[in-house]
Amino acid sequence: MDVAEIHQRLQAEFGPEVVLAAVDTVRDPWIEIAPAGIVAVCVFLRDEPDLQFDTLSDLCGVDWLETDRKKKALADPRVEVVYHLFSLPHRHRLVLKVKLPRWKDNAVGSLPEIPSVTSVWAIADWHEREAYDLVGIDFLGHPRLKRILCAEDWVGHPLRKDYEFPLEYHGIRAR
């Protein structure tokens, strides 16, 4: 089953308020989902007999902020959560994307929020913790959302493009 067919199924089930777009003209086609609908869509994709996306291969956060003034910004500054799904029984793949504002309510430092999919795929626990730690995305309902790579007292999220690396950490020169 290809992305266009899956997009049609999702549109029929959830409507255009939840299933926002499909891009199938690129090397890695994807479907855009509204943040509030991500868990319901994922449950549907996992449980439908002819879809059976039983594997979350990857989940990552992406920061879309152009910091080089010489370059033209390609899109509005935002962060995205990208889900790579696979169906072992049917041997098909799917990429979902959810676009979020860089900061919740445009308040700098207030992390954007999205519901956790740990209830759908247990492996999301680690992936969501990594996206939280490095990109600064708050996964609502996550059973233990805490840093996974950086120290607990680390300030900021190192993969954000506007992140300022500290000069020192606990008295140790960092640069």
Domain count, the chain: 1
Which domain, by its residues, includes 31?
Answer: 3-173
Query: Residue 82 belongs to a domain with what CATH number?
Result: 3.30.460.80
Contacts of 35 (CB under 8 A, 6+ apart): 98, 100, 113, 114, 115
CA atoms of 67 and 54, how far apart (whole Å): 38
Amino acid 172: pLDDT: 86
Amino acid 1: pLDDT: 86
CA angle 100, 139, 90 (to 5 degrees): 85
The tens digit of pLDDT for each residue in 7-32 reads 999 999 999 999 999 999 999 999 99
Residue 70: pLDDT above 90? no
CA atoms of 62 and 42, how far apart (whole Å): 20
Residue 74: pLDDT above 70? no
DSSP β-ladder status, 92-100 and 78-87:
antiparallel
Residue 53: pLDDT above 80? yes
